[in-house]
Chain A
Amino acid sequence: MTVTDERSTAAGPEVGRSRLRKEDQRLITGRTRWTDNIVLPGMLHAAMVRSPFAHANIRSIETEVAEQAPGVITVVTGADVKDTQGAVATAWPITTDQKTPDHLPIAIERVACAGEIVAVVVARTAAEARDAAELVDVDYEELPAILDGREAAEDAVLAHPSLGTNTSAVWRLDSAESGTGGNVEEEIAKARTDGIVIEREYRQQRLIPSFMEPRSTVVDPTGEQVTVWTSTQVPHLLRFLIAATTGMSESKIRVIAPDVGGGFGGKLQTTAEEFATLAAARRVGKPVKYTETRSESLVSGHHGRDQYQRLTLAASKDGTVTALKVDLIANLGAYVGLVGGGTPVLGAWMFNGIYKFKAYQFNLRTVLTNTTWVDAYRGAGRPEATFAIERIMDELAAELGADPLEIRERNWITHEEFPFASVAGMTYDSGNYEAATARAKELFDYDGLRREQQERRDRKDPVQLGIGVSTFTEMCGLAPSRVLGSLNYGAGGWEHASIRMLPTGKVEVITGTSPHGQGHETAWSQIAADRLGVPFEDIEVLHGDTQIAPRGLDTYGSRSLVVGGEAVVRAADKVVEKAKLVAAHLLEANAEDLDFSGGRFTVKGTDQGIGITEVAAAQFTSHNLAEGMESGIDADATFDPVTFSFPHGTHLCAMEVDTETGGTRMRRYVAVDDIGQVVNPLIVQGQVHGGLVQGIAQALWEEAVFDEQGTLVTGSFVDYTLPTAADTISFLTDNTTSPSTTNTLGTKGVGEAGCIASTPAVVNAIVDALRPLGIDDVRMPCTPERVWTAIQSAGASAGGEVSGGAQPHFDEDAPNQDGPEPGAAEAGQKGADQ
């Protein structure tokens, strides 16, 4: 029962081929090793007792009744394990005086958000554990809770009273101070008298990553080492942080990320659940499994985004941008996550986008609230920034009555100008915005759709057409260790690879990255196959186990290929260098006289040669090595990038908006991405499709909502509305190629591109459809109700330019019709401020 792959016999280099994935076989036949599938002898099950309150003191925890329940082994409270439970750590304090509240896996005195763990029930079966969790009686003293980020900044109610403030950190980037550009205030003042100033506030609603595999952890403390299987993106970081916070010896901890069902940043975390399960397992001395329910996942897995963005854009009268000032409030939730504080900082270099601003300033305030903690979600800081700049560039175009693509072209970096030093202090390696845009316009039939838009406007069609543009860039490849050091990040950004040349001709590639759906086993095989000249099929990629891949920094930030892939390249090149010496001896030639190609060493000018796999066999027996030569051609490499890579693209979206109902329908979506050299086009397209839908979902459907008490209202998949196949369309995708100059293969990273680009493209399209009504914003998610409300309130002032007396087509009291957000309507009417 093997998958047949008719493409595997084609000749030519592996890199650039649409190889079908090696990973698929087990996934399509149901033989996958998810953490929750793991069963160990004597294994017990944990259930978490969680706080229903957003903020409360814990007066007492009564566990006796639960402990008497059938099958219950024990109930563990935070007090029981206070010296051994470790902590949920922050890796990135963005300032030296950042306020970072202690985050205990099992809360002891106080809970700071709903869903926090207060006790762990360990029982023979998962059902018994869950039943008994209901019997744990916790006496809470409710405290006032603060939920909204902007309100939190006022410090009227404190999320952590002992800190004295809700502000965790204030961080700033200023082009005049850093010498990368001019003075932002001066440029804005100039534009106020003799140019254009556009001021806007955008809201990045809170999202939930919603990986499909609920998080699960199995801890086996019965061996000499404690083994932790867990559904994570970061096995290496987890191992380090278990050691660093529990006092266990790092060498006694083995962390394995088996098959992991999606992450999107949501599993870029060392979680309270992992530490609580570890503490429980060590306490009972037996293997313990904990698998969350979806409802637990939505409230206790970290959330993403949640920013208030104030932007001031200055331009000259002809629409040439001069300055951009950004004031951000980022809601971190109750605790500072692993990279939670740093996530909005990653936007600092991206708000300026692909445009040539003279002056730039980025001011960030991170605040703590009594909500689920917020950390990286696909794109992490860059989608938020890209949304803001791409939205406001459309506002500038509207102000000038110009085509949004024309305004972008007037301001973007031209392809002759690379490498380009941005006003935020980054050097963009390569790109060609003109080429990507031209290709996107062609695929999209831009002119044709603009014509149709005009026709619909002219005939006052109740269904209007809007065209949204997003010409984005992003930074990939986290990250140069030295840069991370300068940003106060607690780890490096290198990546490691090892290559083992087995005597039977097979090859093991060991990577420190930790994939969870991205297809690294396939892509890494392609890279190694080309470098070593061995068949794709003969390469095995190993990862995600700290015992097998001892060195690594895992998978996030579109870093795996540009950093981890480069490490594979370098390890392979070292193998070839070592093998060359063995080959020279066997061929009785000088190493300098050998050529290496297609997996064979040949003596220049002769037909004598030997294959690299034969060399591997020869070094295995070591019967005939040169005098003094060490046996072995395996090699390790660690790659630390010197800079980031900057993929970019042009995305175009056409939305139909029914002005009578507020309903929207996607007509066409084109994504042309320049991600440098493509290793596997099939995998790249898949990454783009998936990213697009996540970004589109932010624009149209998804939002994590809390009620006034701090209870997550969108606490199940009934209310947190992920898009389905029926909500989405097929996409038109293509690539243009400007190879990166920062790594050997010229690759740039693609994991987050679709998600970064699509959100503003969709909202720009909706606003474009409604702009004749005087509407210049609709708050995300642009549900029919919000669109309809924007139309209604705009119609009141604009006199209803579109015909057809719009009637409400829904009943406000009906289920699934959330009330309008206060402020949505006003935001919709705010005009350009000159």
Chain B
Amino acid sequence: MTRINVRVDGVTYTDEVEPRTLLVHYLREQLGKTGTVVGCDTSNCGACTVHLDGRSVKSCNVLALQADGHEVTTIEGLATDGRLHPMQQAFHECHALQCGYCTPGMIMQAIDVLNENPKPSEQEIREGLEGNLCRCTGYHNIVKAVQQVAGTGEGERA
């Protein structure tokens, strides 16, 4: 067991973890942050995407130990003061989710895409989301949602 200090969604935690514990399991099982989910065992699906110091990571691909001393934001920490993050709102308005299983990871990744490139082309959005799988939506409305937040493309609304 190793001691770690992490700040997750604005709360500081000090915990003992097994060295092999993945960040996603630490979040889900020790902190009860079940908004972040697991979709695969090969780092392909992106369902587990969170922000580590503001950049997106697949939390199944990071050890809890590696988050020691860092700041993690999950889907549960996105809304502030009772207001949805614009990306959450856009996913709702553009019907960018069906079953919603990919959605937490997809939203976290979409925010990261725009942080890196605030005015991406459709192709850049698609490439930016390449590491996140969705089986329900065919990506069409997810791309629209990201365009809506970026204020680009057809997805933009008055």
Seen from chain A, the residues whose Cβ lies within 8 Å of a Cβ on chain B are 1, 3-4, 20-21, 23-25, 27-32, 34, 36-37, 127, 210-214, 259-262, 264, 293-295, 516-519, 682-683, 685-687, 689-694, 716-718, 722-726, 728, 730-731, 754
Number of contacts between A and B (CB, 8 Å)?
182
CA distance A690 to B134 in the complex (A): 9
Collect the chain B residues with CB atoms within 8 Å of residue A213's CB: 37, 39, 99, 101
Asked whether A261 lies within 8 Å of B126 as measured between CB atoms, the reply is no
Asked whether A30 lies within 8 Å of B42 as measured between CB atoms, the reply is no
Asked whether B95 lies within 8 Å of A29 as measured between CB atoms, the reply is no
CA distance A21 to B94 in the complex (A): 10
Collect the chain B residues with CB atoms within 8 Å of residue A28's CB: 75, 84, 88, 91-92, 97, 100, 103, 107
A302 CB to nearest B CB, Å: 16
What does the 1/0 interface line of B60-88 toward A look like (CB < 8 Å)? 00000000000000111011001110001
Asked whether B97 lies within 8 Å of A718 as measured between CB atoms, the reply is no
Asked whether B139 lies within 8 Å of A32 as measured between CB atoms, the reply is no
Collect the chain A residues with CB atoms within 8 Å of residue B97's CB: 24, 27-28
Of A127, A210, A683, A725, most B-chain CB atoms within 10 Å: A725
B5 within 8 A of A: no
Task: Among A261, A685, A717, point to the contact of B100 (Cβ < 8 A).
Answer: A261
Collect the chain B residues with CB atoms within 8 Å of residue A32's CB: 34-35, 100
Asked whether A27 lies within 8 Å of B103 as measured between CB atoms, the reply is yes
Other CB < 8 Å A-B pairs besides A212-B134, A518-B98, 7 of them? A20-B92, A24-B97, A262-B99, A262-B135, A686-B141, A717-B44, A717-B133
Asked whether B142 lies within 8 Å of A725 as measured between CB atoms, the reply is yes
Asked whether A260 lies within 8 Å of B99 as measured between CB atoms, the reply is yes
B148 within 8 A of A: no
Task: Among A30, A262, A295, A718, point to the contact of B76 (Cβ < 8 A).
Answer: A30
A560 CB to nearest B CB, Å: 13
Could you name 23 residue pairs across A and B whose Cβ atoms are closer than 8 Å? A23-B100, A27-B97, A30-B33, A30-B74, A32-B100, A37-B28, A212-B47, A259-B99, A294-B40, A517-B99, A517-B100, A519-B98, A683-B95, A685-B141, A690-B98, A694-B138, A716-B40, A717-B45, A725-B134, A728-B139, A728-B140, A730-B122, A731-B140
Given known A-B contacts A293-B41, A728-B139, A34 and B84 have beta carbons under 8 A apart: no
Collect the chain B residues with CB atoms within 8 Å of residue A682's CB: 95
CA distance A731 to B142 in the complex (A): 13
Asked whether B39 lies within 8 Å of A34 as measured between CB atoms, the reply is no
Of B38, B82, B83, B127, most A-chain CB atoms within 10 Å: B38
Task: Among B34, B84, B138, point to the contact of A3 (Cβ < 8 A).
Answer: B84
The B interface, classified by DSSP as helix, strand, loop or mixed, is loop
4 smallest beta-carbon distances between A and B, as pairs: A30-B35, A27-B100, A261-B101, A517-B99
Asked whether B84 lies within 8 Å of A29 as measured between CB atoms, the reply is yes
Collect the chain B residues with CB atoms within 8 Å of residue A37's CB: 28, 34
Given known A-B contacts A690-B136, A716-B41, A730-B122, A30 and B34 have beta carbons under 8 A apart: yes
Asked whether A731 lies within 8 Å of B134 as measured between CB atoms, the reply is no
CB closest chain-B residue, reference A7: B93
CB closest chain-B residue, reference A730: B140
Collect the chain B residues with CB atoms within 8 Å of residue A25's CB: 92
Collect the chain A residues with CB atoms within 8 Å of residue B88's CB: 28-29
CA distance A745 to B5 in the complex (A): 58
Q: Which of B3-58 contact A (CB under 8 A)?
A: 18, 28, 33-42, 44-45, 47
Asked whether A1 lies within 8 Å of B89 as measured between CB atoms, the reply is no
Collect the chain A residues with CB atoms within 8 Å of residue B102's CB: 212
B137 within 8 A of A: yes
CA distance A20 to B157 in the complex (A): 15
CA distance A685 to B95 in the complex (A): 9
Query: How many positions in chain B have a CB within 8 Å of any CB in the partner chain?
Result: 60
B125 within 8 A of A: yes
B10 CB to nearest A CB, Å: 14
Asked whether A718 lies within 8 Å of B44 as measured between CB atoms, the reply is yes
CB closest chain-A residue, reference B123: A726
Collect the chain A residues with CB atoms within 8 Å of residue B36's CB: 30
Asked whether A262 lies within 8 Å of B136 as measured between CB atoms, the reply is yes
B56 CB to nearest A CB, Å: 14
CA distance A629 to B69 in the complex (A): 70
CA distance A261 to B40 in the complex (A): 13
CB closest chain-B residue, reference A33: B34
Task: Among B83, B136, B143, point to the contact of A517 (Cβ < 8 A).
Answer: B136
Asked whether B130 lies within 8 Å of A725 as measured between CB atoms, the reply is yes
CA distance A519 to B35 in the complex (A): 20
Asked whether B138 lies within 8 Å of A689 as measured between CB atoms, the reply is yes
Asked whether B42 lies within 8 Å of A716 as measured between CB atoms, the reply is yes
Asked whether B98 lies within 8 Å of A29 as measured between CB atoms, the reply is no
Of A212, A294, A689, most B-chain CB atoms within 10 Å: A212
Asked whether A731 lies within 8 Å of B100 as measured between CB atoms, the reply is no
B132 within 8 A of A: yes
A456 CB to nearest B CB, Å: 23
CA distance A24 to B98 in the complex (A): 8
CA distance A34 to B79 in the complex (A): 21
Asked whether A686 lies within 8 Å of B135 as measured between CB atoms, the reply is no
CB closest chain-A residue, reference B131: A724
Collect the chain B residues with CB atoms within 8 Å of residue A692's CB: 138
CB closest chain-A residue, reference B34: A37
Given known A-B contacts A264-B135, A731-B138, A24 and B99 have beta carbons under 8 A apart: no
B89 CB to nearest A CB, Å: 7
What does the 1/0 interface line of B137-153 toward A look like (CB < 8 Å)? 11111111000000000
CA distance A31 to B84 in the complex (A): 13
Given known A-B contacts A29-B76, A213-B39, A294-B39, A1 and B92 have beta carbons under 8 A apart: no
Task: Among A4, A685, A687, A725, point to the contact of B139 (Cβ < 8 A).
Answer: A725
Collect the chain B residues with CB atoms within 8 Å of residue A516's CB: 99
A576 CB to nearest B CB, Å: 31
CA distance A299 to B125 in the complex (A): 32
Asked whether A212 lies within 8 Å of B91 as measured between CB atoms, the reply is no
A399 CB to nearest B CB, Å: 34
A41 CB to nearest B CB, Å: 14
CA distance A500 to B122 in the complex (A): 46
CB closest chain-A residue, reference B78: A29
Given known A-B contacts A34-B37, A294-B39, A686-B141, A725 and B135 have beta carbons under 8 A apart: no
Asked whether A1 lies within 8 Å of B82 as measured between CB atoms, the reply is yes
Asked whether A728 lies within 8 Å of B99 as measured between CB atoms, the reply is no
Task: Among B83, B123, B131, B137, point to the contact of A689 (Cβ < 8 A).
Answer: B137
B129 within 8 A of A: yes
CB closest chain-A residue, reference B39: A212
Asked whether A717 lies within 8 Å of B40 as measured between CB atoms, the reply is yes
Given known A-B contacts A30-B35, A293-B41, A3 and B98 have beta carbons under 8 A apart: no
Collect the chain A residues with CB atoms within 8 Å of residue B136's CB: 212, 262, 517, 686, 690
CA distance A293 to B126 in the complex (A): 27
Collect the chain A residues with CB atoms within 8 Å of residue B79's CB: 1, 29
Collect the chain B residues with CB atoms within 8 Å of residue A293's CB: 41
Collect the chain A residues with CB atoms within 8 Å of residue B83's CB: 1
CA distance A37 to B35 in the complex (A): 9
